[in-house]
Structure 1
Amino acid sequence: MALSLQEQLLKAGVADKSKAKQARAEKRKQKKRKQPVDNAAQAAAQEALAAKKVKDRELNQQQNAVKHERSVAAQVKQLIDLNKQSRSKGETLLNFTHDNKIKRMYVTDAQHKGVLAAKLAVVLLEEEYELVPIVVAEKIAERAPQSVVYIAEIDQAVTDEVTEGTEDWYADYEIPDDLTW
């Protein structure tokens, strides 16, 4: 029976198990160190890993940009849907420009005056023009400026005319003294 030197020393009691284990570990480490390291292959692998990281980072940025665009579009759609003015009984023609073309839509008289007084704005939602309050149009412009089609520039003469028309409706009527509210 041929025992290794290490086993023979253990049997004889000259060496203990922990030292034998330590010697085996040292032997394995030396074997690994003796294996030639291919620097060119290692460098190529690191370059490939770095290129993959860059490519993954760019892909993540593109995906985040797409998610952000979808989020903004959903916010704009929701703002318009919740705040659009009904134009169902509109008989007054409102003319405005969009992309250097004159566009038309039928609105009520009050809505027409609101647009001229810059209280309402025309916005574009899925190829449809809608009227929303100016405050909402400003929020939409922060998110997607291309959705806001027309906001009237306030002309003082038009504003005075609109405000005078609304204040003087009952000027011709006499209010009785005995009227109680």
Structure 2
Amino acid sequence: MAKSLQEQLLAAGLVNNKKAKQNQREKKRQQHLQRTGKEDVVDEAKVSAEQARKAKAERDRELNRQRDEMAQKKAIAAQIRQLIASNAIRSEQGDVRYQFVGPDNKVKPIHVDQAVFDRLSRGQLAIMELDDGFAVIPVPVTDKIRQRNDALFIYIADSSADQLDEDDPYAAYQIPDDLMW
């Protein structure tokens, strides 16, 4: 009959007697546990350490997600600020006062020149908040800004108010809405 693997390893000198007996005891203990259905005593320190590691990993993932979200919001705000600043129409010699309803539902004035005033009245230009003031920008730029953040205040004059109805009895009496006082 052939020798067992353990006996062959002992004969070859690859394993010593002490190690062979220890392996045999461990094997018998495992077989006994399987027969009796009892499990090894769970090391509570290892379990609590594993739970703490998992909780820390989850907390770190949440913090990273929040950090990424804040970075993305800052990047979008910087893009919007750049769009407004690069496309703002400057009218340094603003002698005409244009009034509009601001974000707090109060009438706000800005000073523009006559050409900008006319374009604002027709709805070709928009007004947006920029830092502590307002900036005049073209309407197509507002579409790009709304794609990034649609909650920002954008004022565009209603150009449909200038169109007259056919059955309006007061069509012959036009009321000027841009009177200068």
TM-score, length of structure 1 as denominator length = 0.67
Corresponding residue number in structure 1 for 2:64? 60
The alignment status of 1:46 with 2:62, answered yes or no, reads: no
Q: CA deviation at 1:21?
A: 6.4
The alignment status of 1:119 with 2:124, answered yes or no, reads: yes
1:19-168 equivalences under 5 Å are 20=15, 24=19, 27=22, 30=26, 37-98=41-102, 99-155=104-160, 157=162
**Identity between Structure 1 and Structure 2 (%):** 29
Query: Could you tell me whether the CA contact under 8 Å between 1:121 and 1:148 is conserved in 2?
Result: no
Corresponding residue number in structure 2 for 1:15? 11
Alpha-carbon distance in structure 1 between the residues aligned to 2:131 and 2:78: 12
Change in Cα spacing, 1:80 to 1:26, as seen in structure 2 (3 Å) is farther
Corresponding residue number in structure 2 for 1:164? none
Alpha-carbon distance in structure 1 between the residues aligned to 2:21 and 2:115: 93
Equivalenced residue count is 144
Alpha-carbon distance in structure 2 between the residues aligned to 1:26 and 1:115: 95
TM-score, length of structure 2 as denominator length = 0.67
Q: CA deviation at 1:116?
A: 1.6
Corresponding residue number in structure 1 for 2:170? none
Structure 1 segments of 4 or more deviating over 4 A? Answer: none
Gaps of 5+ in 2: 1-9, 31-39, 165-181
